[in-house]
Amino acid sequence: MGVVLVVLVLLLVVMLLVRRRRKRTVPVLAGPPGGIPAFRIVTLGLQGSGKTLLLTGIYRRLQTPGDRGFYLRVPHEQLIELNRWYRKAADVHEEWPRGTTRGELREFEFSVMADVGGATEPVVKLGYLEYPGELLTDPDAPGSTAQATLLQAIAGADALVGIIDGFRLLQADQGDQRGALMLEASLDAMINAMLPVRSPIVFVITKWDLLDHLHPDENERLRIVRDRLMATPGFADLVKVHSARRIVRLIPATAVGHDFAVFSGGTVRKKPDGRFRPGNVEAALSVVVPDILRQTELALDRATRAELLAAAQRRMRMSPAEALRTLGAHFTARAARVLAAALGAGLVAESGLALLLDTLGPQDDPVERAGRLARLGEADRLAEHYVQARRRVVGELQRQVAVLEAKLPVSRLGGDRWGDW
């Protein structure tokens, strides 16, 4: 009996030790405060305008951290598809990848990955929806809901990317009437769809390498193209209407480089000895988050802006959990109502406001931040690492926007005219 009792006591002690060890080694993870900010981007362009190659180039350029401190990740099945398109595009012996067909929707999920307390985690998510522009230019098939779905996606988008085919610009420049009509038709379709929206707009000129002959200086080349577009009926009106309330950009990009393709015999062909070097493709994606945040700031009235900045400064002195409790319910609800009136539903998510809060206020002193981290509990410490990671990512994206505007000042068609803070 005594032996049995001793065995039972030993088993009890072992069980208690195991339970204590589990409690010490399994952390209570809070995750990112406010959730992971997620934004939806809708891309419009006619078949063959270069949407697929642009998407491939964006991922290829941003799939590794480089000196940015962040990179993109997609689900594995999407990675396989993107790599297949890349190999087909870069191989001079292959035909160009097949573009989207009428009624076909391609949706990709880009996770922006960054260092969060020593681990690589998603800190922002970008949903990238690619629609064929023919849904806007051609009658919808009987019984089809494709056009209605597209218009609904445009209305709810956090940012719009309109694809302007550089090949059509080239044809128009050479006096090709059909090319000029196709260019005008695509612009008309995008203009009518974009006029009612309240989100930032980015126009991307694809196949930019086909327009190298216009001028040796890229900014002057872009100015020539911009002036032609502004002379197109409706385009200048769209820019004028949107410039008062949101940011509009015109970004040139080549998904293959300036020494890979040539216009010959009425078509664009790969050069047998061409060098595949995409240029400026990532800019179309890099400007999205800073433009959304800037427009969110500008949409708020002065009183709400002042409260937002004060809240950001108070948040710096709180733990993330405390900040969510004290700032989240009252402030987010009121700010969301203000944003809903100014921007619509696409930009009023609590996570989006949290991201904006993370980017405001003074930068932490490293010593002070280290001391605050030491005082936080494990869950709050992880949440603080998420806050700092998001600030670094947004800061880097804002730096890339500044570089783009310094290099190509005419790329800014309009916006940001609501005054300063």
Tokens of 329: 């319910």
CATH fold group of domain 38-283+408-414 = Rossmann fold (3.40.50)
Residue range 225-238: mean pLDDT, rounded: 90
- Answer for the pair 133, 198: CB distance below 8 angstroms, yes or no: no
pLDDT of residue 256: 92
Kindly report which listed range (30-39, 121-130, 315-324) carries the lowest average pLDDT score: 315-324
Q: Is the pLDDT of residue 346 over 50?
A: no
Percent of the residues in the chain that have a pLDDT greater than 90, as a whole number: 26
Q: Is the pLDDT of residue 377 over 70?
A: no
pLDDT of residue 257: 92
Tokens of 385: 């690492």
pLDDT of residue 241: 84
Q: What is the mean pLDDT of the chain?
A: 77
pLDDT of residue 225: 95
pLDDT of residue 148: 82
- Answer for the pair 111, 381: CB distance below 8 angstroms, yes or no: no
Q: Is the pLDDT of residue 194 over 70?
A: yes
Residue range 69-98: mean pLDDT, rounded: 90
Please name the helix (run of DSSP H) or strand (run of DSSP E) that holds residue 315, with its range, or none.
Answer: helix 302-315
Residue range 103-118: mean pLDDT, rounded: 85
Q: How many CB atoms lie within 10 A of CB 248?
A: 24
- Answer for the pair 255, 53: CB distance below 8 angstroms, yes or no: yes
Domain residue spans in the chain?
38-283+408-414, 294-404
What value, to the nearest 5°, has the Cα angle with vertex 191 and ends 187 and 193? 120
pLDDT of residue 229: 94
Residue with more model confidence, 387 or 286: 286
Residue with more model confidence, 307 or 320: 307
Q: How many CB atoms lie within 10 A of CB 243?
A: 16
pLDDT of residue 45: 84
9-40 confidence digits (pLDDT tens): 344 444 444 344 343 332 333 345 556 888 88
245-291 confidence digits (pLDDT tens): 678 899 999 999 999 998 887 888 999 998 999 999 999 888 988 88
Residue range 289-304: mean pLDDT, rounded: 73
SS3 for 127? strand
Residue range 211-226: mean pLDDT, rounded: 95
Residue with more model confidence, 35 or 410: 410
pLDDT of residue 416: 52
pLDDT of residue 10: 43
pTM over 0.75: yes
pLDDT of residue 378: 58
Maximum average pLDDT range among 76-85, 218-227, 338-347: 218-227
